[in-house]
Structure 1
């Protein structure tokens, strides 16, 4: 019996009629359960490529996957005869009867991935099987074949292509603007894509994975096809994790082993439906992290299990310090008859028999392996923080020790008279740090002046002004009792990575390597680091925004530009607005009304002052002596409409400050410069280089609480002086 609800505005007791939903609405609702963001779409496509037997998978991404998400594999391909139903719901080659679910061994089985994608994006497929002489290209919309261009037929077209399948997704969520506005920034969506790809690359070391941004010459992730799991972990998570790994195996036969060569093939499982086997690589007590990394695969399917996570945390509670967490990779293989894979729309969870007993046995295996491997902890340290390392006594060679034992008493008495200064250990050259704040250079004795603020006739006056502002450059934290702002400040403090923050606090600026790609070199101790100063600056300005909330200085705009015209400039330059259901004037009106209705709040909290006539009078000044690129002002104001969550207080403040930080970030120009380089452009580039070196990096030393996420791709150790000496010694 169906339950019905009477209208609250109608006094009658008549129930509302039950209506059948439109097919298009049903499909979009179903698509929303499967495709949450670009990373979830990629997960479905990767699983299809692995099911097709692909040994090489290449991913190309643009704008975090929202503009373009393409995956290419060299698998078995798709038959031309199947292309007409490829994107329809519940069409699959992996399942025919309900009983097939009891022994399913493939990733996909419901046939909903491509159908869901076709309802929320523009989908095209190029595929070729080994038996066919050419590849076939088909486009899909709303689950059906669609014409590539107006006036063309919907039938698949012959085209050039290699064996395998290439799936292209464009303009994801173009017809669901609410879902699109709920997504994070393109950089965060791209990091989610890399996270999904990293996990599958580790579990499938025999498959070559490549991921790159569209237009980028080099990939951001690349793994070979002849690797092993520990080697792939070392490649993707670094040597720090890989060197502390312990290999553990366990099974239903009461065999707990730590042999890395133990075979884990699925076909070796017993006929007993309750049989199981697992392989794991876990870190020992020498590795400690603030966040637990758990890569869990059950029957090769990437899943999550809060129960397993709590059990493994309990194992490490008695080994690691409070708050420290491990890295765990676990592959669990169970008889398919004991696993229910159809319990979650995105297959993120599975249910299986004897779950508690299996988790307990795996936890015992972890405990035993950690006990054997870690009788005592070892710690790495350096004796002098400044870089000098004294030779410890145990490094003296055996031959030298033997000679010292043969020295006579007279010789010992003579050596005892040696002065204390001569007996000191000599610091090796490779451990000397060649930087000192006490060393004065000729340039440092003259005031440094921003080239953008200097004219030939008033250099001396500007030097005085600059020296006077140096004393007032401190950014003081404002007094704010709003719970949302207090929580944002606490979140920034808790997310601080101690070692990275120390590197930035004590670094020496070396130089800008590539201004368009936002790459610079800095030195800390005996190490040289390549950093993305754009990403560091974006995080710095976000934290400065939180720090000065409600008490910003103002950057006055004279003459004040009209808000509507600025938004029109950005909307006309934005290609993605062409696919919107709204016309460009309607988009401009909507954004303009959103900002104007909240201009009092913007002025009070952020010093973004807009007059009653719609003139932008001032902007928030986040850092003295730093002027943002005002060419990006139209884009910044346009993004305030769809990218800021105006409904909730905390999300509103957080998203606004993120957009403000992105506006302040150097190198994030939206309006392209003209091809010929003019004197004005050269002066602008010179001023930008000056701001990066003399304003941004000194501000990072003082105010940036660097989060761990910057270590993923934005801070890379380029060279180490001790390691270079080892190379030279071999030559």
Structure 2
């Protein structure tokens, strides 16, 4: 007996005989299961972020290409994965979180089923590089369909040793390459990337103590960057803007705040008491906007036991609070973190853990909503700004007029005392500052560089002779403290005359600008340009020219009493001078041979080594080895790649015939050596490191084990902002000559307002 399905172009015959039931192939089962877990790149990233947080990471870096479809890379500094666990890492139901079913009742981690990496390996090319603190090297493993796979033809599939930092680097490439239907259903790469940013933003708010960085592959600037050790409110301000942060309220609710009755014996407990007993096991932390903030779409971040989840019941309850407060069509910002006893939560109700179920959901939601509503009622006045009349003031309810002071604020908090109209707030006596004359008053305000990940020089590891981390950090701490550099006691008339000349050449207004400036950011490292703000004006300055003048003045200030920067091993100056002479084009036009030039410079320096050591802490041995250099600024390390050029220039550029001219020209060359920037290209030269042992004369000692690569723009920007400019603020008497080309005003806020008014 057969039946024909009507309504289609082709009739389908259905056999009366039941089709045989077959066991699906394991690869097909795994691919179907993977489709339940990994819907799009953002869902894959969510699983990977949770793994990073489970590993105790404090820094998470994410790199994305083509919306995550071509590349999705995440790096953390967590505990890493043992090499012995790598063979089963991407197999289904392999986890370190569970051992028995009863463990679900006390689960405190994100992942527990062991499906995330397995699912990803079935729909993408998965590569893992991991290193534990005990490992001497990192291990790299590639996975296909849950099993180890060779990274390239002809090699084994076993994990391979490789270079890597502590933690784990996971690379997901060609997502959904074997499921074309799922791939074609995805949106554009820009929309998928926006979903990724949304996921990272939410986890960054909830994990404010973890640093998150997310950027596109090939981009030098991240689209999202948060510092570690910040508060939830600071993270919200950084990620969602000041408009949200300034209207943010915070309440903490827990079951202990509900009225608890005297406990009865277990035999006398009724249903109501049982409800209280279970509901005493939760607490909530809510950050939400007041009545002054509203947007078209509600932003609702919900974390239950630190999991990013959705709950239509909780969302509706909070939305109902704002319906009577906000205008129609407007929505608030709400971040809610709810922590429950794991024994009352069922986390295993959704394949992607997007939803969870817990006991007493209705009563807990009602309690949280009541506390939010109470907080809005206490601080719920909406503030409106209005402009007073130009010809008069504000009418006083008791008669008379109050003087007009520009824009005023009214609070619609309802009726005043005894049912009267609420009185207008008192007008501030201080004169209101016009918008075009407002300036930043705190150097702690945000700068250009705060929008990008900024690392100190000690974080760079690009040079083989990298500085010792502890010593470098000590030097940087000294620079951050901005200690006063004392003026040495000197009785030489030549030095006193040079100091007097510096003071007379100082320009009062330019010096004041540098003393009271607010650093905005480094514009161009190669061209030595930075932006600073003073009052309502913005200046483009050449930090190279300012630095050269600063170091010259610091040399005069510390004359005869320099701290020492010791070099180890002590390099022979003849070799260094020869490198610089070979690279100098002007030597070819000289009547002397290169050997004669090198001998002449070496003889000059060695003959005057006693004077150089006494006055400048420039220590040379009798056989021509350079043991130490003067340290002009604590915390600032010069680029030792410039050392050959310095030694070569000390011969012809220093006037060795007169005392005052000798000191002046020598300090000018030393200042030029200290200016930040890359040195000359001397491929056969390797900068020496400092000797951490041994002592030196003078008031202080600073050891140095090599400047890090000058091409590391991030490290150089850090030194310019945090060491160089604070020293300028305190010690530089700026000469008028800098006004010609090195300090240029580029903007003035009142002038910009006039332009805008004409538009």
Change (3 A) 1:253 1:223: same
Choose from 134, 139, 143 the match for 2:137: 134
Q: Secondary structure in 1 aligned to 2:130?
A: strand
Q: Secondary structure in 1 aligned to 2:46?
A: helix
Q: State the Cα distance separating 1:254 from its structure 2 match.
A: 2.5
Choose from 377, 402, 426 the match for 2:382: 377
2:205 maps to: 202
2:102 maps to: 99
2:366 maps to: 360
Q: State the Cα distance separating 1:219 from its structure 2 match.
A: 0.6
| Equivalent residue pairs, number | 392
Q: State the Cα distance separating 1:379 from its structure 2 match.
A: 2.3
Q: State the Cα distance separating 1:383 from its structure 2 match.
A: 7.6
- State how far apart, in whole Å, the 2-side matches of 1:59 and 1:187 are: 16
- State how far apart, in whole Å, the 1-side matches of 2:308 and 2:317 are: 18
- The reply on whether 1:287 has 2:293 as its aligned counterpart is yes
Q: State the Cα distance separating 1:426 from its structure 2 match.
A: 13
Cα RMSD for the two superposed structures? 3.2
- State how far apart, in whole Å, the 2-side matches of 1:23 and 1:723 are: 72
- The reply on whether 1:76 has 2:75 as its aligned counterpart is no
- The reply on whether 1:150 has 2:156 as its aligned counterpart is no
Q: Is the 8 A contact 2:255 2:279 kept in 1?
A: no
Q: Which runs of 5+ in 1 are unaligned?
A: 257-269, 385-391, 397-424, 433-512, 514-525, 529-717, 726-731
Correspondence list, 1:345-424, <5 A: 345-374=351-380, 376-380=381-385, 393=403, 395=405
Q: Secondary structure in 2 aligned to 1:39?
A: helix
Q: State the Cα distance separating 1:393 from its structure 2 match.
A: 3.9
Q: Secondary structure in 1 aligned to 2:384?
A: coil
- The reply on whether 1:18 has 2:24 as its aligned counterpart is no
Q: Secondary structure in 2 aligned to 1:294?
A: strand
2:185 maps to: 182
Rg larger for? 2
- State how far apart, in whole Å, the 2-side matches of 1:201 and 1:189 are: 18
Q: State the Cα distance separating 1:322 from its structure 2 match.
A: 1.2
Write out per-residue CA displacement over residues 246-274 of structure 1, whole angstroms, 9 at most, x where no aligned residue. 11111112259xxxxxxxxxxxxx99675
- State how far apart, in whole Å, the 1-side matches of 2:749 and 2:386 are: 17
1:211 maps to: 214
2:541 maps to: none
- The reply on whether 1:324 has 2:327 as its aligned counterpart is no
Q: Is the 8 A contact 1:55 1:206 kept in 2?
A: yes
Q: State the Cα distance separating 1:9 from its structure 2 match.
A: 4.2
Change (3 A) 1:74 1:20: same
Q: Is the 8 A contact 1:55 1:225 kept in 2?
A: yes
Q: Which runs of 5+ in 2 are unaligned?
A: 6-10, 260-275, 390-401, 407-430, 439-522, 524-535, 539-745, 754-759
1:420 maps to: none
- State how far apart, in whole Å, the 1-side matches of 2:433 and 2:167 are: 59
Write out per-residue CA displacement over residues 102-137 of structure 1, whole angstroms, 9 at most, x where no aligned residue. 110000000000000000000000000011111000
Q: Is the 8 A contact 1:431 1:722 kept in 2?
A: yes
Q: Is the 8 A contact 2:105 2:342 kept in 1?
A: yes
Correspondence list, 1:246-645, <5 A: 246-254=249-257, 274-374=280-380, 376-380=381-385, 393=403, 395=405, 430=436
Q: Secondary structure in 1 aligned to 2:287?
A: strand
Change (3 A) 1:12 1:334: closer
Write out per-residue CA displacement over residues 341-371 of structure 1, whole angstroms, 9 at most, x where no aligned residue. 0000000000000000001111100110000
Q: Is the 8 A contact 2:388 2:405 kept in 1?
A: no
Q: Secondary structure in 2 aligned to 1:379?
A: strand
2:450 maps to: none
- The reply on whether 1:45 has 2:48 as its aligned counterpart is yes
TM-score normalised by structure 2 residue count = 0.49
Q: Is the 8 A contact 2:63 2:72 kept in 1?
A: yes
2:643 maps to: none
Q: Is the 8 A contact 2:254 2:280 kept in 1?
A: no
1:113 maps to: 116
1:564 maps to: none
Q: Is the 8 A contact 2:129 2:140 kept in 1?
A: yes
2:88 maps to: 85
Write out per-residue CA displacement over residues 134-174 of structure 1, whole angstroms, 9 at most, x where no aligned residue. 10000000000000001110000000111100000001011
Q: Is the 8 A contact 1:138 1:155 kept in 2?
A: yes
Q: State the Cα distance separating 1:380 from its structure 2 match.
A: 4.1
Q: State the Cα distance separating 1:427 from its structure 2 match.
A: 12
Q: State the Cα distance separating 1:431 from its structure 2 match.
A: 8.2
1:163 maps to: 166
Choose from 41, 62, 66 the match for 2:65: 62
Q: Secondary structure in 2 aligned to 1:148?
A: coil
Change (3 A) 1:22 1:11: closer
TM-score normalised by structure 1 residue count = 0.51
- The reply on whether 1:239 has 2:246 as its aligned counterpart is no
Choose from 23, 31, 41 the match for 1:28: 31
Write out per-residue CA displacement over residues 251-307 of structure 1, whole angstroms, 9 at most, x where no aligned residue. 112259xxxxxxxxxxxxx99675110000110000011111100000111000011
Q: State the Cα distance separating 1:318 from its structure 2 match.
A: 1.2
- State how far apart, in whole Å, the 2-side matches of 1:430 and 1:98 are: 66
Q: Secondary structure in 2 aligned to 1:60?
A: strand
Q: Secondary structure in 2 aligned to 1:16?
A: coil
Q: State the Cα distance separating 1:722 from its structure 2 match.
A: 6.7
Change (3 A) 1:295 1:381: farther
Q: Is the 8 A contact 2:405 2:432 kept in 1?
A: no
Q: Is the 8 A contact 1:273 1:335 kept in 2?
A: no
Q: State the Cα distance separating 1:395 from its structure 2 match.
A: 3.8
